Amino acid sequence: MAASAILFGAVQLDLRSVLREKTCVKHIFLFMAVLGALDVSAASQSNRPNIVLIMADDLGFADIGCYGSEIRTPNLDALAAKGLRFSQFYNTAKCHSSRVSLLTGLYCDQAGGASLSRGATIAEVLGKAGYSTSMVGKWHLSKQPTEFGFQRYWGHLSGACNFFTGDDSFRYNGEKYNVPKVLNGRPFYTTHAMGDFALKFLDEATAMENPFLLYVAFNAPHYPLHAPEADVEKCAGRYDGGWDQLRATRYAKQLKSGLIPKKFALSKRPAHIPAWDSLSEKRSRVGGEAGWRCLPRWWK
């Protein structure tokens, strides 16, 4: 599974509107891409940037509103409008290897793979330069983040987990964390919990004088594709037209925004994917009291 990420650049922003609507935090450098080398040791204390690095796991680049999606992502769209959007970005087509490159700036094998035995993480480098370093979310590499430069950590070490119940790999600053049924007044849900802990670490970091790195690695939208029922219901009927129509609609938006030059035609649907219109009603729509659910033919 690929881990997708996009650079939006350095902007002044209300970061909490991305993680949750709260008070304004300014002068945050938000990156959603592999960071290049930073000469932080030579910069003065006041000039060194704060860095928030967000990974969306297995996200298609066209799943964000400013990249042509029908999915509403207003806060990310606002960031993109004030910063930079990459039109060419690569990953290593696997979860763990993409995050190795994201954390080290090296190809996965160069860094020693999941062991990170031949590559320093950005947290290790920035920590030595006086940064406070925190991480929230999915690790999916060897050992724990607290053994690779992150001073604070909450999340799961596994490659994926049930979004509503978690698993036994959750850790909080190196110690086992028992997933509660309720967190901060609402039923436990990994994406919500990651946002909550990211804000907690952000509050702690901004209370200190030294600059900070906050790395937020969401499990979503990586499988098992769990979403609260209320959120699913909001999208009822949105995808009834099928994947062929969706691709065409997104492509048209990308052309209009200038993201894709008009000389590049929409790629052909892969041969092993059937045309949506060729699917029977039974195979293209699975229904019940919970509402219609679209499933590919090979799932039946």
Q: Any idea which of 21-25, 78-82, 129-133 has the lowest mean pLDDT?
A: 21-25
Q: What's the pLDDT at 43?
A: 57
Residues 192 and 267 in one domain: no
122 is in which domain, residue-wise? 16-227
Mean pLDDT of the region 252-272: 93
Among candidate residues 201, 227, 253, the one where a domain is terminated: 227
Identify which has the larger pLDDT, 37 or 204: 204
Question: Given a cut of 80, is residue 283 above it in pLDDT?
Answer: no
Count of the separate structural domains present in the chain: 2
pLDDT in tens, 163-178: 999 999 999 999 999 9
Q: Of 227, 248, 273, which residue is a domain's last?
A: 227
- Shared domain for 30 and 150, answered yes or no, is yes
Can you give the CATH number for the domain in which 156 is found? 3.40.720.10
Active site residues: 95, 140
Whole-structure pTM value: 0.82
Q: Are residues 112 and 138 in the same domain?
A: yes
9 found inside a domain: no
Residues 134 and 63 placed together within one structural domain of the fold: yes
Residues 245 and 222 in one domain: no
Over residues 270-293, mean pLDDT? 67
Same domain for 151 and 177, yes or no, is yes
pLDDT tier, 47 (very low <50, low <70, confident <90, very high otherwise):
confident
Report, as an integer, the average pLDDT of 7-11: 41
| 212 and 239 part of one domain | no
Q: Choose one of 227, 262, 282: the last residue of a domain.
A: 227
Residues 200 and 265 in one domain: no
Query: Taking residues 53-61, what's their average pLDDT?
Result: 89
| Percent of the chain whose pLDDT exceeds 90 | 65
Mean of all residue pLDDT scores within the chain:
83
Show the beta-strand stretches assigned E in the chain.
28-31, 50-55, 132-137, 152-156, 170-172, 175-176, 182-183, 186-187, 212-217
Q: How far apart are CA 69 and CA 61, in angstroms?
A: 9
